[in-house]
Structure 1
Amino acid sequence: MHAADIRQLFPGLKDTIYLNTASMNVGCAPARAAYELAVERWSAGTFDWLAAERAGEDARAMFAEIVGATAADIAIVPAVSTAAGIVAANLPPAKRGENIVVAGNEFASNYYPWLLLRGRGYEVRTLAPDGDGTVSADAFGRAADGGTRLIAVSAVHSASGYRADLAALSRVAARSGAWFFVDACQAAGAVPLDVVRDGVDFLAAASHKFLLGSRGMGYLYVRSGLLNRLQPVGPGWKAARNPAESFYGPAMDLSPTASKLDASLAWFPALAEQAALGIFRRFGVAALLDRNARLALRLQDALAAEGSGFRPFTEDHRSTIISVPVRDTEAVMARFRKANVVASVREGRIRLAVHFYNLDEEIDRVAGLIGTG
């Protein structure tokens, strides 16, 4: 795997330093070609929706490989909020003392669905983050008790870049008999994930960040032992055992796999998704994740060499997102715009998100632009 081989798949990056994948990835050439072909066929009346459905199944299988699951464990949903809503809807009315535990600075898609459970009688315990924006597994352990029914976390926090100890959090959930829900939007395709090893009950991710897809595609992993405890919230023909034979009633025969939770597939995004995930197959998931880790470490070291105020997390908690405190975010962002650098500001800090399509020299250039802020 060479940088030149990767960059030819992202021609739009020729004159841009893109460190904003935590917001949205850069469209790759294969995905763009898939969209263009789909539009051409749609406008000519020759679009093949069955081919799009097959693309969705291929994407389901590839996502399963990325998170250490099987395709039968994966539902296709449009967003993390949809996935969380399905899980929340399947929690029964609370008994006395039952509660949900979630960090108070969680991204809204992994926060609002749980807050709404107050209306069903649950106490929602929101944990205040430490000064660096993190909430440790120990803090969750202190908040959870025998009445805790669900613990929700981000595998990687979207603002701070803190990578949670999923295995430790799973043990906290197990002690309480709680469901363990993970928002992996900033982790899937960015850092290694293994839902079986880490004891995850539910894991959700949208495709438009590190998975190289676009809005409209996302996934929900369900641990097989919990599948029979979930019912679809808005089932359609895609939720059936044999979808192509289930356009009409009167019978309803739901899928025995997680696909019973599927939303109707967004056909254009599914075709683009299949093409984009082909990049993971081409280079190998492990190789791309290793490159991500190396680039993140290079950025961390470059920032330290420039004397920035960045303080790195330990290796176990490092991700591809680095949050840099600066004296003047507007001044730094102005320098970025002049140099064609794309990044974000989150919680008063410069947020930089590397992905395997970034280059060493880009990392060094950005660290120099930040300097001491």
Structure 2
Amino acid sequence: MAHLPEQYLQLFPILQTHTMLASCSQSALAEPVSRAIQDYHDSLLHRGTNWKEAIEKTESARNEFAKLIGAEPDEVAIVPSVSDALVSVASALSVFRKKHVVYTEMDFPAVSHVWQAQCDYHISVIPSIDGVMPLEQYETHISEETVLTCVPHVHYRDGYVQDIKAIAEISQRKGSLLFVDAYQSAGHIPIDVKEWGVDILAAGTRKYLLGIPGVAFLYVRKELADALKPKASAWFGRENGFDGAYAKDARRFQTGTPAFISIYAAAAALSLLNHIGVSYIRNHVKTICADACHYAAAKGLQLASAQGGVQPGMVAIRDERASETAELLKKKKVICAPRDEVIRLAPHFYNTKEDMRHAIDEIAVKMIDK
């Protein structure tokens, strides 16, 4: 971590007392983000209204997210959550005759919930093989009748990173649109929707994007957005807010007034990430995760992450009582994120190799005690 300026570490007060390794669930709160939240509060407390300022913050957040993923601002809609984004996308696909949708068993459960509620579609689930998703699986399960393929950029459970550009090539060749859930990647893995050929992408802010719940971003390729008419659309998705015409870009996927307090936080957080540079963050996270994987193995811990290929976006350790272990670690001021029978150690740019080793040491002690 020697190359990371000390000023960045000082932006996170929690790091003075805790080891924060839960970015796959909730990142540490930075001082600029905290100040932005306070600014929203103060503007209402002392001025009574902040509509114009809030709209300006909304556009700032939109611009910063577009920069983060290599998109144009008018290709980005602001929505309450990634689940809302997918519901809105599902409501807009009726313009196509195809009725087949595929998603993967690596997708977050909310993806399944959305599609299982869609009565008009034939749904297929792409199974993984030994914890990985070979490209051959997409070749097999995407057909010429597939209207949309849903994939996670990073598997929420163990950090497995997929080759989105290669998947996009397959889906395009088969005539399917591609929806990418980037909730577990945006903010610590570089994304270029144009270079990769992504049609639709969504990400929320509370994880690696350093924000808080209440806002997410939906990218829709410009040419595609103008062809879709989402049923989940309201006045923020209209041309001037008051008539019935859809907005002439991805904004048509917006509904009502957004959670401005979360917008303020997002604008500050995204600005910080773009200032540091996601490529730098990815290199740092890969380095400390690689060290942690070797260290955990040396301690006799079993990794849940699939080995080989792209370095996982986190370190996942098998533990039959993961939630119990996480609570014990919390008492030691080590914050991690259990999921099922896995302890997830999800670092960000503010973490060090020593942070990861300290957490692994504590987990190893708890495993012995059990």
Task: Give the structure 2 partner of residue 87 of structure 1.
Answer: 89
Q: What SS does structure 2 have at the residue aligned with 1:196?
A: helix
Partner Cα distance (1:179, 1:26) in 2: 35
Give yes or no for contact 2:101–2:146 (8 Å, CA) kept in 1: yes
The equivalent position to 2:32 in structure 1, one of 30, 49, 53, is: 30
CA 1:328–1:41 in structure 2 vs 1: closer, same or farther (change >3 Å)? closer
Letter in 2 for 1:359: T
1:144 to partner: Cα distance: 1.9
CA 1:45–1:15 in structure 2 vs 1: closer, same or farther (change >3 Å)? same
Task: Give the structure 2 partner of residue 99 of structure 1.
Answer: 100
1:337 to partner: Cα distance: 2.6
CA 1:312–1:159 in structure 2 vs 1: closer, same or farther (change >3 Å)? closer
CA 1:52–1:315 in structure 2 vs 1: closer, same or farther (change >3 Å)? farther
Partner Cα distance (2:149, 2:305) in 1: 26
1:237 to partner: Cα distance: 3.1
1:333 to partner: Cα distance: 3.0
Letter in 2 for 1:125: S
Task: Give the structure 1 partner of residue 223 of structure 2.
Answer: 225
Partner Cα distance (2:64, 2:312) in 1: 22
Q: Does 1:349 align with 2:342?
A: yes
Q: What SS does structure 2 have at the residue aligned with 1:276?
A: helix
Partner Cα distance (1:187, 1:125) in 2: 24
> TM-score if structure 1 supplies the norm length?
0.90
Task: Give the structure 2 partner of residue 236 of structure 1.
Answer: 234
1:311 to partner: Cα distance: 6.2
Q: Give matches, 1:320-359, under 5 Å.
A: 320-326=313-319, 328-329=321-322, 332-333=325-326, 335-359=328-352
Task: Give the structure 2 partner of residue 163 of structure 1.
Answer: 161
The equivalent position to 2:264 in structure 1, one of 254, 259, 271, is: 271
Of 187-196 and 362-371, deviating more is: 362-371
CA 1:320–1:104 in structure 2 vs 1: closer, same or farther (change >3 Å)? closer
Give yes or no for contact 2:160–2:305 (8 Å, CA) kept in 1: no
Q: Does 1:285 align with 2:278?
A: yes
Task: Give the structure 2 partner of residue 193 of structure 1.
Answer: 191
Q: Does 1:115 align with 2:113?
A: no
1:313 to partner: Cα distance: 4.1
Q: CA offsets, 1:49-81, max 9 Å, x none?
A: 211111111111111111111112111111111
CA 1:105–1:314 in structure 2 vs 1: closer, same or farther (change >3 Å)? closer
1:41 to partner: Cα distance: 2.3
CA 1:94–1:41 in structure 2 vs 1: closer, same or farther (change >3 Å)? closer
Partner Cα distance (1:94, 1:181) in 2: 16
Q: Does 1:61 align with 2:54?
A: no
1:210 to partner: Cα distance: 0.6
Give yes or no for contact 2:322–2:339 (8 Å, CA) kept in 1: no
Q: Does 1:260 align with 2:261?
A: no
Partner Cα distance (2:323, 2:268) in 1: 37
Letter in 1 for 2:160: Y
Give yes or no for contact 2:321–2:341 (8 Å, CA) kept in 1: no
1:278 to partner: Cα distance: 2.3
Partner Cα distance (1:295, 1:58) in 2: 32
Give the aligned length.
363
Q: What SS does structure 2 have at the residue aligned with 1:210?
A: coil
1:129 to partner: Cα distance: 3.0
Task: Give the structure 1 partner of residue 19 of structure 2.
Answer: 17
Task: Give the structure 2 partner of residue 147 of structure 1.
Answer: 145
Q: CA offsets, 1:73-127, max 9 Å, x none?
A: 11111111111111111122886x842111134212322222223x11x221112
Task: Give the structure 2 partner of residue 129 of structure 1.
Answer: 128
Percent of aligned pairs with the same amino acid: 27
Gaps of 5+ in 2: none
Letter in 1 for 2:234: G
Runs of 4+ residues deviating >6 angstroms = none
Partner Cα distance (1:301, 1:227) in 2: 45
Give yes or no for contact 1:332–1:369 (8 Å, CA) kept in 2: no
Q: Does 1:303 align with 2:296?
A: yes
Partner Cα distance (1:272, 1:327) in 2: 36
Partner Cα distance (1:62, 1:314) in 2: 34
1:334 to partner: Cα distance: 5.1
Give yes or no for contact 2:323–2:338 (8 Å, CA) kept in 1: no
1:16 to partner: Cα distance: 0.8
Partner Cα distance (1:213, 1:327) in 2: 31
> TM-score if structure 2 supplies the norm length?
0.90
1:272 to partner: Cα distance: 1.5
Give yes or no for contact 1:213–1:269 (8 Å, CA) kept in 2: yes
Partner Cα distance (1:329, 1:76) in 2: 34
CA 1:311–1:26 in structure 2 vs 1: closer, same or farther (change >3 Å)? closer
